[in-house]
Amino acid sequence: MKYIKLNTNESPFPPSPHVAERISGEEARLNLYPDPACSELAAAAAAALGVGPENLIFTNGSDELLNFAFLAFCDAERGIVFPDITYGLYPVLCEMYGIPYRKIPVGADFGINPQDFFGIGQNVVIANPNAPTGLVLSVSDIELIVRENPGRVVIVDEAYIAFGGESCVGLIKKYDNLLVARTFSKSHSLAGARLGMGIGSAELIGYLNKVKYSFNPYSINRITLLAGLAAFEDENYYIENCKEVIATRERVKAEIRALGFTVTDSKANFLFAKSDRIGGRKLYDKLRQCGVLVRHFDVPGISDYNRITIGSKSQMEAFLDAVRNIINDREIIK
């Protein structure tokens, strides 16, 4: 069966046609190592973000950046805190490195209370928008968390920032303890190329570079370097795609609300929703039988929910048809 993949938050759009133009011919240079400093890409990113190249590091996906950051800034004494409902990689990295961690409960509505993260005495990582809820904190709330944790690193994971939230990148000039993590996987249609970016003070970036150069200075290959550069050169293409994803998200949200779903106010490229008629795991299984893959988390507090990536218009029509058929089936008992 060919599944409709709404389970890993990839973009339904191909990369910009400019990516193919940029990488064409590069295969003939694959005998040469790539530029470990990613200089050309850094110059383009610096211009686009209004920061200096010394404020940037590029990694093999933002998961690699998070890996480097946990290794560089956390240890057995200096642990890290994060919301109890968030991206699954954070506790995985803590377990791997023996980093002590604490989960701070989100509210009943899954909202993060910034004050819970003040003066924490540990490093902090927050996905903004959060995953899998899609809920966003304002830049002023993020600023308070950064300001109230001097001498501690606050990592803001902006994997989904292009879908409606406001980036806190501008704060890196004011606070040397802020690290912003970005990925080209979701909004920039490059999940398969593996490209992530860290933005922070030259001091933080310096520590991260030490880790990167120890592991593998060449973690970004020549093709990906050019694909990333092309992404910056064709930013309007991605802005338009994100607009379409946002419009589709709002339409699908209204449709499933009308079908009795509770849906968070997601500012990401996914919805997080539970039905009043069918349990989360059961809906996941039934959708799968209909050829639609969504993401279910077998985690206390959110097991009634599913995370649904916003795909193309036709993929979302297929999803809605499947949902209508499933919840109108009288056999279903919650």
Ligand X SMILES: *Cc1c(COP(=O)(O)O)cnc(C)c1O
Using CB under 6 A, list all residues that contact ligand X.
Answer: 9, 61-63, 87, 127, 131, 157, 159, 183, 185, 191, 196
Least distance between ligand X and beta carbon 102 (Å): 19
Least distance between ligand X and beta carbon 193 (Å): 9
Q: Is the CB of residue 189 less than 8 Å from the CB of residue 15?
A: yes
Nearest position to ligand X, beta carbon: 61
Least distance between ligand X and beta carbon 63 (Å): 3
Least distance between ligand X and beta carbon 11 (Å): 11
Least distance between ligand X and beta carbon 64 (Å): 7
Q: How far from chain centre, in Å, is Cα 275? A: 25
Buried b (16+ CB within 10 A) or exposed e, 63-93: bbbbbbbbbbbbeeeebbbbbbbbbebbbeb
Residues whose CB falls within 8 Å of the CB of residue 68, separated by 6 or more in sequence, listed in order: 57, 59, 198, 208, 211, 212, 215
Least distance between ligand X and beta carbon 59 (Å): 8
- Cβ closest to ligand X, residue 67 vs residue 149: 67
Determine the length of the chain.
334
Least distance between ligand X and beta carbon 1 (Å): 25
Q: Is the CB of residue 244 less than 8 Å from the CB of residue 40?
A: no
- Cβ closest to ligand X, residue 293 vs residue 320: 293
- Cβ closest to ligand X, residue 61 vs residue 198: 61
Position 151: which residue type?
G
Q: Measuring CA to CA, how many Å separate 208 from each of 73, 199, 202?
A: 9, 11, 10
Which residue from 139, 224, 136, 140 is spatially nearest to 188, judged by alpha carbons? 224
Least distance between ligand X and beta carbon 179 (Å): 13
- Cβ closest to ligand X, residue 163 vs residue 284: 163
- What is the distance between the alpha carbons of residues 145 and 126, in angstroms, rounded to a whole number? 10
Least distance between ligand X and beta carbon 270 (Å): 9
- Cβ closest to ligand X, residue 266 vs residue 275: 266
Which residue from 84, 108, 81 is spatially nearest to 299, judged by alpha carbons? 84
Contacts made by residues 321-329, CB under 8 angstroms, sequence distance 24+? 322/286, 322/287, 322/290, 322/291, 322/292, 323/256, 323/259, 323/283, 323/287, 324/259, 325/290, 326/278, 326/283, 326/286, 326/287, 326/290, 327/259, 327/260, 327/275, 327/277, 327/278
Q: Is the CB of residue 54 less than 8 Å from the CB of residue 244?
A: no
Which residue from 149, 142, 163 is spatially nearest to 119, judged by alpha carbons? 149
- Cβ closest to ligand X, residue 89 vs residue 320: 89
- Cβ closest to ligand X, residue 22 vs residue 188: 188
- Cβ closest to ligand X, residue 81 vs residue 159: 159
- Cβ closest to ligand X, residue 88 vs residue 291: 88
